Amino acid sequence: MSHLLQFFILIPSVGFLISLFLPRKKEAILSGVTLGTVGIQLVGIVLFIAWWLMNGFPTLDIKQIVLYKSPEFEFFIDFYFDKITAVFAFVGAVLTFLVAVFSRYYMHREDGFKRYFCALLLFYVGYNLIVFAGNFETLFSGWEILGITSFLLIAFYRDRYLPVKNGFKVLSFYRLGDICLILAMWMSHHLWHRNITFAEWGEMAAVQELFQQHYAPAMFITVAILIAAIIKSAQLPFSTWLPRAMEGPTTSSAIFYGSLSVHIGVFLLLRTYPFWGHEWIIKTIILATGLATSLVATGIARVQSSVKTQIAYASIAQIGLMFIEVALGFHVLALIHFAGNAFLRTYQLLVSPSVLNYLVHDMVFHFKPRPANEPNPRLQKIKHALYILSIKEFNFDFLLHRYFWSPFKWIGNRMAFFNSRWGFVFWMLVLVSGVTGFLLRENLGVNLFNALPILFAVLSLVMVLKGFSERGDARRAWIMAFSSQFMTAIAILLNKDIKWLEVALYLGGSMSAAIVGYLCLRKIKSIEGDISLEHYHGHIYEQRGLALVFLLSCLGLSGFPITPTFIGIDLMFTHVHKGQIFMALMMALNFLFLELTLLRIYARIFMGQHKKAYHPIAFKSS
């Protein structure tokens, strides 16, 4: 029955596609389609798990479809089922169904009712792609879908400033985890010389032998996976994105950041444990990270004034304990812990508005002052210091912004020269010289030929950083983002002999998306006259169709799994040699800031408070 695994991806996908074509005002039909889709999925998973248990719970693996194949590369979708998948799939189906039932009434008459349920179904598609994934390529597809649905639901109240800002902030952390997975996939291609499946990772003896023979590349893969898991599960020092994600509706906070999405990091560690489980260095890092996160998050949770923030940090603390359980090999305990924490946090978030109301009444009518005592002065100073640090969330948000994001913005801001006509001429000369260098590569010296790919990878990153920091015309930022992809393609062409078909696969989808997106910006410019990135314009309220087309263009250009560019990104990385870690890092950073640049343009042009006075004024936060 392993061939039935594909239906657990097909069912929510069909439900999502149906919901796209339903009228916005038909709330009963929209919620009914969602409940029917998730209900069928739940029944199917229960029956499948029952059959699986009666047959001795075998490990199932099926290579579903090959999307692209060459002598050196194969991109295929693979599905996998074991006890980890069974637990995550069952818990996900139950909680999604319960939240969908609750949302049917909670979101009643809410502007964006259809948008919410479409995003919920798309999230469920991505979640199932991850938990049923049999290789990194399939898992990465679901990972990308989770990222964009998180952004859309956090920024659900898109007429307010803070939800849009925090949605973009969460997306930046998600994208950082994306590039860690991309780097892990890149090195695994060179380690195995093919696309490895998780079933092959389960062969402990062969994997450990390979780990010892190629220690440095294997350790690189492990560290990249670990960082991706830490970011996705909001462990230190990346914990601050989770409370910011609570700006969306309470129901989406419950299903995303209380129960399912935030536990994907634990799932990733469980799935890849056979690869790194024998390395005590990695286990020690995971133990230290989990322990530090549990202690710090507990302290932060106890002093927060917002109930959703308290629940978020309480969940982070429990996930830190799950990291410890995974590292120690207590996987059954970690799965039980995941299920318990997911159900508890979902319940707490769904009832949080009512509980908060009860607590306020209790505080007003039954207030009792704390009895005065004479505390130890030194102990009191320590308590006060910890209290202040916890209130400030140990300044992790400030430190990450100051020492990670700000340097990249600084680089982009220093490139003001490229806003001029001479800057445009310079980039044209660079592109022409790159193409000329490729055509005359046999006549170039060895040192120059080896340096050119790295140079163009650096220039590609500089170009996208200029687009990321652009505060003027949105069209200029869009052109910068797209042009950087040409630079990347030239870097790969100069680096290794590849087929033109592979380059066309990479640039084909992004080029069409870039053209459509640019035409959308021109249309908005002709209608409104102002598309600067200095502030939010909120044009989505009057240009819904144009906003949707532009969003799809952003996703297509950034390599979302709707265009061949998604396959092309993985394909481009396979042509970076194992020893070219710096070049791979430059390309990974390029893809990090590419999506952030494109969605920043989308957010600034189409989200936020509309600048026209006849639209209602929204509160700053939800």
Q: Is the pLDDT of residue 622 over 60?
A: no
Stretch 286-297: mean pLDDT: 92
Q: Is the pLDDT of residue 97 over 90?
A: yes
Of residues 437 and 456, which shows the higher confidence score?
A: 456
Q: Is the pLDDT of residue 266 over 80?
A: yes
What are the C-alpha distances in Å from 225 to residues 176, 179, 182, 333?
12, 10, 10, 22
Q: Is the pLDDT of residue 620 over 60?
A: no
Of residues 359 and 135, which shows the higher confidence score?
A: 135
Contact (CB, 8 A) for 496 and 457:
no
User: Between vectors from CA 172 to CA 166 and to CA 175, what angle results, nearest 5°?
Assistant: 140
pLDDT of residue 165: 86
Within a 13 Å sphere around the CA of 417, how many CA atoms are in the beta-carbon half?
10
Stretch 415-435: mean pLDDT: 72
Contact (CB, 8 A) for 197 and 139:
no
Q: Is the pLDDT of residue 376 over 80?
A: no
Stretch 14-39: mean pLDDT: 89
Stretch 263-288: mean pLDDT: 90
| Confidence tier at 250 by pLDDT (50, 70, 90) | confident
Report the distance separating Cα 222 and Cα 230, nearest Å.
12
User: Between vectors from CA 223 to CA 220 and to CA 229, what angle results, nearest 5°?
Assistant: 140
CA dihedral (277, 344, 165, 527) positive or negative: positive
| Confidence tier at 234 by pLDDT (50, 70, 90) | confident
pLDDT of residue 288: 93
Q: Is the peptide bond before 243 cis (omega within 30 degrees of 0)?
A: no
pLDDT of residue 358: 63
Stretch 132-145: mean pLDDT: 88
Q: Is the pLDDT of residue 532 over 60?
A: yes
pLDDT of residue 108: 84
Of residues 547 and 159, which shows the higher confidence score?
A: 547
| Confidence tier at 2 by pLDDT (50, 70, 90) | low
Report the distance separating Cα 161 and Cα 155, nearest Å.
9
Residue 119 makes CB contacts below 8 A (sequence gap 6+) with: 149, 152, 153, 156, 252
Highest-scoring range by mean pLDDT, 150-154, 213-217, 508-512: 150-154
Stretch 280-303: mean pLDDT: 90
Tokens 């680096």 -> residue: 495
Contact (CB, 8 A) for 565 and 557:
yes
pLDDT of residue 257: 79
Of residues 502 and 261, which shows the higher confidence score?
A: 261
Report the distance separating Cα 328 and Cα 289, nearest Å.
13
Q: What is the CA radius of gyration of the chain?
A: 25
Highest-scoring range by mean pLDDT, 192-196, 250-254, 317-321, 433-437: 317-321
| Confidence tier at 229 by pLDDT (50, 70, 90) | very high
Beta bridge partners of 65: 77
| Confidence tier at 367 by pLDDT (50, 70, 90) | low
pLDDT of residue 320: 93
Share of the chain above pLDDT 90, in %: 20
- Mean pLDDT score across all residues of the chain: 84
Amino acid at 445: G
Residue 234 makes CB contacts below 8 A (sequence gap 6+) with: 241, 242, 262, 265, 312, 316, 319
Q: Is the pLDDT of residue 128 over 80?
A: yes
What are the C-alpha distances in Å from 229 to residues 143, 234, 258, 320?
11, 8, 16, 11
| Confidence tier at 361 by pLDDT (50, 70, 90) | low
| Confidence tier at 284 by pLDDT (50, 70, 90) | very high
